[in-house]
Amino acid sequence: MSFQAVSSVLALALVVLAASSSAAKNSTLGISSRAGFANSYQRYFVYNDEPVTFFEAWHKCRAHGLRLASVHSALDDVKLMVALAQEDITQRGPWWIAGTDLGKPGSFVWITGNKRIDGRAGYTNFAAGQPDILSGTGHCLVAGGAGGTQWNNVDCGSKSSVYKKTYENFP
């Protein structure tokens, strides 16, 4: 493992430890640019530039006691946008989020709580023409693929430098 990878993991671990105590929440801002950390209304978003697949992102989140972000309301979307703007990383998306239709193609759910993602059951923020279920390969969601925080469905196995991870603390 390279020095840069080890230091990124250590920085992420510091962020997780700092975020775990309410007294330490303010101190996390001191390491934010190094660790890719942003605080948004009691929600914490951590990003990492390492190219990973959806499943690798999910596993890395779980290994650090975190999970991929889910966006259940317009307020959640604003919180995500504010968090990304605080770190000036909005031009680096898209980022993995917790939505998938792997259980039933065309029926997206948040794997963080198995809540349906559709206009009738809750909030959605799909980009125009999304989700593209006709492609047959786009079973995982990213935010920011079309700019802002709009969602696109992409291949879960994609591993590219343009895909990032977004995390949130367990409630």
Question: pLDDT by residue (tens digit) across 105-141?
Answer: 989 999 988 888 987 778 899 998 888 877 778 999 9
The pLDDT mean for the chain works out to: 67
Supply the pLDDT for residue 165: 52
Which amino acid, one-letter code, is at 144? Answer: G
Which residues 6+ apart lie within 8 Å of 87 measured at CB?
Answer: 32, 33, 36, 37, 38, 47
Other C-beta atoms lying within 10 Å of the C-beta of residue 34: 14
Query: Quick check: 168 pLDDT over 80?
Result: no
Supply the pLDDT for residue 32: 31
Distance CA 144, CA 48 (A): 15
- Please give the residue that has the higher pLDDT: either 12 or 141: 141
Distance CA 15, CA 72 (A): 24
